[in-house]
Amino acid sequence: MPEDGGSLVRRPIGAPSLPYDEGLAEEYVMRMLAGETVDEISASPHMPSWPTICKWRLENGVFAGRYARAREASAESCEHNAIRAARLAVDNETASAMRVQVDIWKWAAAKRNPRTHGDRTTVAGDPDNPLVVQHRLTARRDLLRRLDALADPEPLTIDAAPEPGE
């Protein structure tokens, strides 16, 4: 929401998109890092609309990468906003309102960077933390070592001839 409390300004549907501009792209990414939402950024009269940003991401791989990294990093801004909102709770009435805001910020942080701010525990398929299965035969090896230690070092000979008187 803009600081003046007014509603967000939307460009008309079908308005021509702006050609890619490195300066605007940099400003967009920096504002994302600061925790502003897409609607807040696009509401600025000089900034490109959301459809234009989508087009830039499709047509410019470098911008798409910067946008993705900024989105992930902006999860930390969401985290800070959640902490700030929680600290504003002073009684039961404000605590309820702040709980809603904290939950929204936590949700946004988890969506922006699920790897660091999500609730999901990865069991498999994560390239940064692959699942490693180790099968250890330590109990079996220990048993074999004990049996080897009990074994007589000299071979056992058995006399096949019967003893007298048997």
Q: What is the pTM of this model?
A: 0.57
Q: Distance from CA of residue 18 to its chain's centroid? A: 32
* H/E stretch holding 22: helix 22-33
Do the Cβ atoms of 142 and 112 come closer than 8 Å? no
- The pLDDT value given to residue 4: 43
How many CA atoms lie within 13 Å of 90's alpha carbon, on the beta-carbon side? 1
Supply angle C-alpha 1, 21, 75, rounded to 5: 45
Residue ranges, the chain, pLDDT below 50: 1-9
Q: Distance from CA of residue 142 to its chain's centroid? A: 42
- The pLDDT value given to residue 136: 60
